[in-house]
Amino acid sequence: MLMSSTAGHAAGNVDAGRKLFGQCAACHAVGKTAGHQFGPMLNGVMERPAASADGYSYSDALKQAAQNGLVWDEPSLDAFLESPMTYVVGTKMAFAGMRDEAQRQDMIAFLQQIDSSGSGATATVEPPAANSLVSESSAPEAQRPLARDTTVPEHGVLHLGRLALPEEVAAWDIDIRPDGLGLPTGSGSVETGGQIYDAQCAVCHGVFGEGAGRWPVLAGGFDTLSDERPEKTIGSYWPYVSTVYDYVRRAMPFGNARSLSDDDVYALTAYLLYLNDQVSEDFTLSTDNFASITLPNVDNFIADDRMEEVHYASREEPCMQDCIPGEATVTQRARVLDVTPDNGDDDNAGGGID
């Protein structure tokens, strides 16, 4: 079943829905090679009973709803997507919901035209009209202003580009520094942070920041940095609290970046400090007290001194002949802890790439 790009029966627009699917892609896959990820694979989800994809382990809540007759059709999916956690109380789909009805319609139209084999998931891309990196330049000559009538800006050396407007700089310049530069005005409490965290973060990072599955651990690990298996968290490793604010604001929640308000980020930062035993449960983080927070590991970072290591500092001509006595003997083999993908063993036996 392949429908034309805008034809789903739902009122929505398939292409718009495809773009919106970026919000779901952190947890769901669609398409010919899609499998279950954190959430179930969504090929052909419309018109199938809830919680019915083979090989996926659903929450009891969704299984129960399915037993009570929940089938994914336009009205039910619309209600679920608007607020998953209120429509199916206890679902493990920790997604805040799509408030905008038009967006939900687009999403449903997109999901509707993906059949169980996954066709319909990817767009058929139309080649750009012009043979240039810049598609705007395809306007026919006649419609363009004459070169001699255009103006050349005065700034700079080559007079290229244009002035950035203050609103534009404000929209993109969201970075925070340890000295507080860039911090927006606002505040947020541990309590509020806990609510947002449970709704939007705990599904991946665990209720206590312990990390679900292989998702990153955010709390704990104190005094483990010189252990055999150190645990690097905000509390045990990160030098500055500004980094927490900056990172959550720019990149989290994974799959829905830039969706949090400044006060939400204050509250989440406060809550992450609380999970790491840095503040008490009645604490409120604000622009005014931000600078008073120091993380325990701040003094344990040193400058790059690799060039002073013996092997580099000596600058010796390397040995060419009879450098090591005796024959080479094997001390370690990859085979012993073979985790190469070819060997079908999926266990993480050793280090990682972080």
Binding site for ligand HEC (CB under 6 A): 23-24, 26-28, 38-40, 42, 45, 50-51, 53, 58-59, 61-62, 72, 77, 81, 91-95, 98, 107, 200-201, 203-205, 215-216, 218, 244, 247-248, 252-255, 268
| Span 118-157, contacts to other proteins by CB under 8 A | 133-137, 155-157
Size of the site for other proteins (CB under 8 A): 100
CB 21 within 8 A of CB 27: no
CB 12 within 8 A of CB 106: yes
* Residue (280 or 331) nearer to other proteins, CB: 331
Among 74, 106, 246, 264, binds other proteins (CB under 8 A): 246
**Among candidates 265, 284, 264, which has minimal Cα distance to 274?**
284
Tokens of 89: 């109380």
CB 30 within 8 A of CB 114: yes
Among 164, 198, 266, 283, binds other proteins (CB under 8 A): 164
Count of CB atoms situated within 10 Å of the CB of 300: 9
* Residue (288 or 305) nearer to other proteins, CB: 305
Burial class for 179, CB neighbours closer than 10 Å (0-12, 13-18, 19+): exposed
| Span 187-206, contacts to other proteins by CB under 8 A | 204
The contacts of residue 21 (CB under 8 Å, 6+ apart) are: 28, 30, 107, 110
The conformation of residue 334, written as its DSSP 8-state character, comes to G
| Span 13-52, contacts to other proteins by CB under 8 A | 22, 25-26, 37-38
* Residue (10 or 29) nearer to other proteins, CB: 29
The conformation of residue 291, written as its DSSP 8-state character, comes to G
Least distance (Å) between residue 294 CB and ligand HEC: 18
Least distance (Å) between residue 62 CB and other proteins: 21
The conformation of residue 187, written as its DSSP 8-state character, comes to E
Least distance (Å) between residue 86 CB and other proteins: 26
Return the H-helix or E-strand segment holding 85: helix 84-87
Round to whole Å and give the CA distance between 321 and 317: 12
CB 153 within 8 A of CB 161: yes
Selected range binding other proteins among 94-102, 183-191, 279-287, 341-349, rule: CB under 8 A: 341-349
The binder of 107, among ligand HEC, other proteins, none, by C-beta within 5 to 8 A per type, is: ligand HEC
Among 31, 97, 255, 296, binds other proteins (CB under 8 A): 255
The binder of 330, among ligand HEC, other proteins, none, by C-beta within 5 to 8 A per type, is: other proteins
Least distance (Å) between residue 121 CB and other proteins: 14
The binder of 45, among other proteins, ligand HEC, none, by C-beta within 5 to 8 A per type, is: ligand HEC
The conformation of residue 283, written as its DSSP 8-state character, comes to -
Least distance (Å) between residue 145 CB and ligand HEC: 43
* Residue (18 or 28) nearer to ligand HEC, CB: 28
The binder of 96, among other proteins, ligand HEC, none, by C-beta within 5 to 8 A per type, is: none
**Among candidates 230, 199, 10, 37, which has minimal Cα distance to 104?**
10
CA-based radius of gyration for the chain: 27
Round to whole Å and give the CA distance between 246 and 265: 9
What mask, x for binding other proteins by CB under 8 A, covers residues 265 to 304?
-----------------------------------xxxxx
Round to whole Å and give the CA distance between 200 and 23: 13
Tokens of 33: 């090679």
Q: Is 230 in the site for other proteins (CB under 8 A)?
A: yes
Q: Which amino acid is at 333?
A: R
